[in-house]
Structure 1
């Protein structure tokens, strides 16, 4: 490396730059954004839309068209969690998440008296009733498979698995033989149908590691283990084939081919504000919130939290965030009643920041209608946070 001048502002600005949050990629497609910056975490909220809008100015119609064309899709991927992936990564994403439904089945076998044989028979029944063109919702599938799916009673309800059908659907999705389709084509609403699919599932731990460090580096082994869900031994084996160097004085790893670019990188002198979901990749690829916060901001109370806990002690932001060159400089939520963004800023408001807020507010109002953080988020549930913002 040409320089060892590694400061936190430089790291933040570099992460922001690699995440395409510096304003230079308007007009890119959803596929291009996700391939370059990483899979977008999706939990039935607005995060994928907000992230693609912030990086490339993409409106909801463009994103939904890519979903309809299966150019990008929401799949169970790393750790079995749902992400929006580009088509080139479907096989790898499914391979990365394959262990999760197997774990759910093992738990059901142990605690609910379920057998693998009955779930495999149910899987076969589901494949017989689903087609590649006409999505079926879970209720229709259960009716069609009849006694092949059974209730798991009160014990199942307590564990969040009321019937055996979700176990089969999870396995079939992980195997690439079933695809979950949003019934209205939107990524921010959790109503789905299922269609049959023929998607290969393949990819190594090293391949996932290579992808991850292309999106998130510099990152530590701990960061990578969080994203992948790998054990220490699996992570070590995954990293062994990669050409990584350790940044001096840190535990952060960087692909050698990026070393010169990183050394020569200079943080922009002018602010560039973006409004992101709290689970945006800028944070969630590392899940190390303090690295994006100045100490004084980290000590502020979490908006609307009854315990009065400090924002910087959270594993994840409990609200949406405003970023500038990799630093979180504010928090925000969308007030559906007033059709406006409410916020708490850590920096003085200026024309650039005001314009960024107005642009995102207009985008939400005209294209999304709301900016839910996750599937169970609602105007009522976020009211305490909005009230805290307005009182600040």
Structure 2
């Protein structure tokens, strides 16, 4: 496709040779607010400006807020309690922590994923009316309880209303009809899932009534809004990257890109990025900072996960580096958490709770800035989290080999 800006944009595209990997890394770093530009922002503002935080029962949402705005775990938990932020199924039906202004339309773009499990039930003879009745009984049970109930409590209260689908259901990931009904109610904003102990990094949940007002936009408008947010969060992405995050079809992706007036921009590496018109003008004037800007992030941080392009964040001389015989730049997802400087991955880390320390490997050795930031994040994890889990099943034992490998490399 020819690289040219629409006539109405009123600006010139940057020359491809200007858009080097180093400049684009620094640009994405800036758009992510990792350069200090989000200091003083509240939790909802961080997620609105930098992107929704992938949760999966890990500590990424907390570090997302701490790295960009210095927000404590206690403040984040308070914001969850007061519904300023919440964990909801959004893009692709995956759970993200996001701000209150996004709740309704984020549920809307993720609703198809909530409907999909019913198709599995339908093939096992479960009719839609049975699930609708179960939804109503869940709402009644939660209203009678007057507070949150976890899935086991709900199942006990609902009794025979929850159908056991036997071995066939287990094989298809649907042991009973309860999860499908809960998913549909959550996608409609009629119930919400709350962490049992108030923490986002320990995946034990209960359900409570909600009653979120319905969104007023149609599906196409919601998809266009997600595309606009996504391109803003990333500072520009390929068509394939946008499809991976949104889960849209090719036709829906093209329609959403057209609706937001996105512009094709060719990079020095020959890659074509779709960018918002305002960002094209900003990128043309952007200069990478001269001084170090060090951050320790989670492997699921928006900087890495939104485009799933960790290979692009390594300097060319670091792309052959290995941990446990696996070449880092060849993996779709990082096996360890990254240490970055202005968008470039300069090392890896894991938290070792037994010794209350961060095990790390810095490719070019420790500088004053990297040493200081490692110490700051280490103290924060020790005082506020106790451990740094990547996902719900992560444990100190499961990451021991990776900790040993980073120690050996570093």
TM range (shorter): over 0.9
Is 1:75–2:126 an aligned residue pair? Answer: no
Q: After the TM superposition, which residues 124-139 of structure 1 pair with which residues of structure 2 at under 5 Å, given as runs?
A: 124-131=136-143, 134-139=147-152
Write out per-residue CA displacement over residues 191-218 of structure 1, whole angstroms, 9 at most, x where no aligned residue: 1111111113435211111111121121
Q: Deviations over 1:147-197 (max 9, x none)?
A: 110222223233333221111111111111110000111000111111111
Alignment RMSD: 1.5
**Partner of 2:350 in structure 1?**
333
Distance in structure 2 (CA, Å) of the matches to 1:290 and 1:384? 23
**Residue 73 of structure 1 contacts residue 86 of structure 1 at CA under 8 Å; is this kept in 2?**
yes
User: Which residue number in structure 1 is paired with residue 189 of structure 2?
Assistant: 176
Q: Does 1:296 align with 2:317?
A: yes
Distance 2:172 2:297 in 1: 33
Pick from 346, 360, 363 the counterpart of residue 380 of structure 2.
363
**Do the aligned residues in 2 keep the contact of 1:2 with 1:264 (CA within 8 Å)?**
no
Structure 1 partner of 2:8? none
Partner of 1:156: 169
TM-score (normalised: structure 1): 0.95
**Secondary structure of residue in 2 paired with 1:253:** strand
Counterparts of 1:133-282 in structure 2, within 5 Å, are 134-202=147-215, 203=217, 204-249=222-267, 250-282=271-303
The equivalent position to 2:72 in structure 1, one of 35, 44, 59, is 59
For residue 342 of structure 1, the aligned residue among 343, 346, 359 is: 359
State the SS of the aligned residue for 2:266: coil
Distance 2:407 2:29 in 1: 29
Residue 3 of structure 1 deviates from its aligned partner by 4.1
Residue 343 to residue 201, structure 1, CA distance change in 2 (3 Å): farther
Gaps of 5+ in 1: none
What is the CA distance between 1:47 and its match in structure 2?
A: 0.4
| Stretch moving more, 194-203 or 262-271 | 194-203
The one of 46, 56, 59 equivalent to 1:46 is 59
Unpaired runs of 5+ residues, structure 2, are 1-11
Residue of structure 2 aligned with 1:324, choices 341, 359, 377: 341
Contact 2:243 2:253 in 1 (8 A): yes
Q: What secondary structure, in the 3-state scheme, does the structure 1 residue paired with 2:46 have?
A: helix
Deviations 1:9-52 (A, max 9, x none): 11100100110101233222101111111111110000000111
Change in 2 beyond 3 A, CA 1:96/1:12? same
Does 2:28 align with 1:23? Answer: no
Q: Tell me the SS of whatever aligns to 1:318.
A: coil
Question: In the aligned structure 2, how far is the partner of 1:366 from the partner of 1:55?
Answer: 18
* Cα distance in 2, alignment partners of residues 206 and 87 from structure 1: 19
Cα distance in 1 for partners of 2:303, 2:229 equals 15
| C-alpha distance in structure 2 between counterparts of 1:276 and 1:58, whole Å | 14
1:173 is paired with a residue whose SS is helix
Give the 3-state SS of the residue equivalent to 1:98 in structure 2. helix
| Count of equivalent residues | 387
2:350 touches 2:358 (CA, 8 Å); kept in 1? yes
Any idea what SS the aligned residue of 1:252 has? Answer: strand
Partner of 1:312: 329
Matched, 1:120 2:132: yes
* Displacement after TM superposition at 1:312 (Å): 1.1
1:334 shift after superposition? 0.3
| C-alpha separation in 2, matches of 1:355 and 1:156 | 52
2:125 and 2:231 map into 1 onto residues whose CA distance is 42
